[in-house]
Amino acid sequence: MKMKKRVLMVANQFPPMGGSGVQRSVKFAKYLPEYEWEPVVFTRESSKGLIDKSLLNDIPKDLEVIRTKPYDLNELKKPFNLAGKFISRKLLIPDGDVIWYKKNKDILLDYVKKNNIDIIYTTSYPYSDHLLGLYVKKHMPNIPWVVDFRDEWCNNPYILDMGYSKNRMEKERKMEREVISNCDYFITNTPLMLKNFLKDYDMKEKSFVIPNGYDKDDFDNINKDYVKKDKLIITYSGSMYGRRKPDYFLQAVEELIDEQKIDKKDILIRFIGNIPNKKIKEINENYSLSETVKYLPYMEHKKSIEKLVESDILLFIIGEGKGAENFYSGKVFEYMNTNRPILALVPPKGVAADVIKDTNTGYISDTTNVKQIKELMLKLYFDWKNDAIEMNPNWDKIKTFERRQLTKQLVEILNRAK
């Protein structure tokens, strides 16, 4: 019997932790064995925060998962939790998981020394995952190391918005440079993100793009045929923080209602996910849409997909600002596989807009262009009223983002590194 090669995956965010950050790693781990690779996952214990135990079903039964103490200051008990969050976000470099890195780096190194590991794979966020990979690489330089950036680091728009000091950013830039200089292969999830890295680093020969995607297994037993409901259901699923906010969309809807172009009784707007109470209160205070807007809590991944499919329109938002054009949330790929039109408020010249155009899965407006949002919203409203909502997605293109196919791309890199 042919022996499988072994890749040790350093992934701080891994089930039962929930949220979008775990999807890429757990799906790679799910499908790697089909391509003669045996994954071993080095992660942290997860009992607080967003938990989705249903994602554990994606983990192969014989997968070895090494769970370490998290040392997460965000999870301190009240009243120390606020101080913990401040320290984690503002003082620890490069992120709050640097304590996890420091406490577990020798545990990881010892495991690699004592076990037959062919390749180290690290994925961020958090960037401390890459520091673990760097630590092993410095002690065991002959083991190939593949780094995977789900988001940028020093050019990440959300990092830029934090207003960190020049001194801190110089330290993070040094860390970033050391990771990129020492890794054997480098992966990003968008072409523009890679282009940004290539402006700063000479690494073209070892760089690749593997986008996020969707797992068709998550859509098993879900009927994607469109059926009109009594209300036009518009659903947003995902996080809401920083630049990613629905304010301009809600302003557009409120204006259309005030102008009597849309009947308030006809529409239902649903926000699904871990929406901060502060944001909910702000929306309720700023818009007269309490009867129209509903909030659903974070739910199991499969159930969230069911909510997408029972919708008429899917709302997708990438906030404005520097760097916003370089990335798309992984959620957009699940949106594309629902056979529902996407109303995308994204940078028109960014990667999110490009993938929606290429797959013919939706309508695009600049995030802050209320006039354009109103025009698109009105079109979709009348299409719904007149039973004229149509979708003609490019399914051949959409299928290229299926997780099994994306894992095959990772395998090609692992085989090259081995």
**Mean pLDDT, the chain, whole residue set:** 93
Supply the pLDDT for residue 126.
96
Dihedral angle, C-alpha 45, 46, 47, 50, nearest 10 °:
170
Query: Taking 90 as the threshold, does the pLDDT of residue 48 lie above it?
Result: no
Task: Give the single-character DSSP code of 354.
Answer: H
Percent of the chain topping pLDDT 90: 77
Spatial separation of the C-alpha atoms in residues 386 and 382, rounded to whole Å: 6
pLDDT tens-digit readout, 381-393: 999 999 998 889 9
Spatial separation of the C-alpha atoms in residues 198 and 204, rounded to whole Å: 7
Percent of the chain topping pLDDT 70: 99
Tokens at 28, concatenated: 């790679």
| Range scoring the smallest mean pLDDT among 77-86, 141-150, 281-290 | 77-86
Q: Give the residue among 98, 145, 97, 96 at the shortest CA–CA distance from 117.
A: 145
Supply the pLDDT for residue 227.
86
Question: Residue 1's pLDDT band (boundaries 50, 70, 90)?
Answer: very low
Supply the pLDDT for residue 12.
97
pLDDT tens-digit readout, 316-356: 998 777 777 877 778 899 999 999 999 999 999 888 999 99
Residue 301: helix, strand or coil by DSSP? helix
What are the residues facing 233 on neighbouring strands?
268
Backbone angles phi, psi at 287, to 5 degrees: -135, 145
- The domain covering 5-213+402-417 belongs, at the CATH homologous superfamily level, to Glycogen Phosphorylase B; (3.40.50.2000)
- Give the domain ranges of the chain: 5-213+402-417, 217-399
pLDDT tens-digit readout, 194-228: 999 999 999 999 999 999 999 999 999 999 988 88
| Range scoring the smallest mean pLDDT among 40-44, 107-111, 132-136, 219-223 | 219-223
Domains 5-213+402-417 and 217-399 share a fold: yes
Mean pLDDT score, 262-280: 92
Spatial separation of the C-alpha atoms in residues 342 and 344, rounded to whole Å: 6
Looking at per-residue pLDDT, the higher value among 117 and 77 belongs to 117
Token pair 């925060």: residue: 49
Question: Residue 2's pLDDT band (boundaries 50, 70, 90)?
Answer: low
Mean pLDDT score, 28-44: 97
Give kind and range of the element (H or E) at residue 247: helix 247-258
Supply the pLDDT for residue 319.
76
- The CATH architecture that domain 217-399 belongs to is 3-Layer(aba) Sandwich (3.40)
Q: What one-character-per-residue DSSP string does 356-380 give? A: HHHHT-EEEE-TT-HHHHHHHHHHH
Query: Taking 90 as the threshold, does the pLDDT of residue 183 lie above it?
Result: yes
Backbone angles phi, psi at 174, to 5 degrees: -65, -40
Question: Residue 95's pLDDT band (boundaries 50, 70, 90)?
Answer: very high
Mean pLDDT score, 251-280: 94
